[in-house]
Copies of this chain bind each other. A is one copy, B any other.
Amino acid sequence: METCDLLIRGALLGETGRKADIAIKEGRILKVGENLKVEAKEIIDAEGKIALPSFANMHTHVPMSLLRGIGADLPLMDWLQKVIWPLEGEFVSPEFVRAGAELGILEMIRSGTTLFMDMYFFEEVVGEVAESAGVRAGLGFGILDFPTKVAKTPEEYIKKARRFAEDLKGSELVFPVICPHAPYTCSPTTLRRAKELAEDLRLYLHIHVAETRGEVERIREEFGRTPIRHLEDIGFLSERVLCAHMVWLDEEDMEIVKERGVKVAHCPESNLKLGSGIAPVPEYLRRGIHVCLGTDGSASNDNLDMLEEMSTMAKLHKGSSMNAKAIDARTALKVATENGFSAVGIRAGKIKEGYEADLILVNPNTPHLQPLYDPVAQVVYSAKSSDIDTVVCRGRVLMYKGEVKTLDEERILWEARRWSERIRSFLERVSA
């Protein structure tokens, strides 16, 4: 008899609505089928649970979990300039990043995410936490034209980005990404250098683009074109570029994005909360643009919950386009799972032979999920992260029956509270 590492018995497969066993070996799905005849080192009884692919959070700033909800009800530029940047100037350090990453990754495991794309400071620390928590992460620090704790000049940022990428190479979970912050914070020269570095090292690029109407106007004033045409003109765009937000694109921008195979990381809740607007996602999907989903940081969302983000995305676009079929439940699930993984070349997001074993089990035995007629639609429209029972990444069980196995939840919450006391007194001092 064949042997495997982990056997999940009797799960209800979201995709087919039928019961099946899932055999996992060496991080991959070996077989999916009824009553599999395999031996296993570890068996999970999934009777009555729904099996779905886990989520890929394609745009976030995970250490900002320590700044959760600060500056609520402010628009993007006020929020950044009056609240977030002064706080970061005071507090950001490797210790801050470690505590924030632990808190954020704990929250992401609890809500079924096994891949996240992060842009912040001291990303090597985020990488250590992700590695030991057992989740996948594409990491890079923001490259800017102005000095921060990372570097003083664009040249220094690029040099450090090369060193960071070379140091991080070789992990099976964590990979380096080149992250020029945005077209309005990086000169064309900086953007070009970042692009060259990414090409040289065969890495993905991750950047904020067209988040607000103000940004589009600013780029248009400075360069006489939209942010997308600006990036196109300097040769920045390719299928290895992940653009977060992409709220304000015109027809020609969309054609370029489609043509170049650029990946869009849609962040609906952050765009709503900061008053940035509603990205025309049904139109992107209609054109065959590769759309995936992200939460953005917890300071503007105010959580890292991809299940909630997926639900909001599906409902939002039906409502704003006045078309109940604009994004159906299966499309929403694919955007939140498979489209994220495949955007960075990971074969996951399906519970299918040969795919990476990244999946979740959802407990539908709650008043808000019963009766259960359509597992996928009901998870998309009605489930909460508290219904997620088990999380598996690359074949490793990160959470089982609601208990996170790879992180010390009590210590992490204690540390978060300790940081919040210092942050709170700084905020009181500043506002006094």
Contacts and interface: CB of A to CB of B under 8 A. Distances in A.
A419 interface: yes
Nearest to A423: B371
Contacts of A409: 367
A68 B382 contact: yes
A378 interface: yes
B323 A72 contact: no
A278 B320 contact: yes
A285 interface: no
Contacts of A328: 72-73
Given A318-B273, A367-B412, A374 B72 contact: yes
A430 B251 CA distance: 43
Given A107-B368, A368-B107, A420-B371, A377 B69 contact: yes
A186 interface: no
Interface residues of A, number: 76
B374 A324 contact: no
B365 A413 contact: yes
A68 B303 contact: no
A368 B303 contact: yes
A381 B274 CA distance: 12
A213 interface: yes
A12 B306 CA distance: 29
A75 interface: yes
Contact of A312 (B301, B312, B318, B321): B312
Interface centre among A72, A276, A374 (most CB of B within 10 A): A72
A353 interface: no
Nearest to A329: B72
A372 interface: yes
A319 interface: yes
A206 to B, nearest CB: 23
Contacts of A79: 324
Nearest to A414: B370
Contacts of A412: 367
Contacts of A372: 420
B315 A381 contact: no
12 contacts: A68-B378, A69-B373, A69-B382, A103-B367, A271-B319, A273-B314, A277-B319, A312-B315, A316-B316, A370-B416, A370-B420, A373-B424
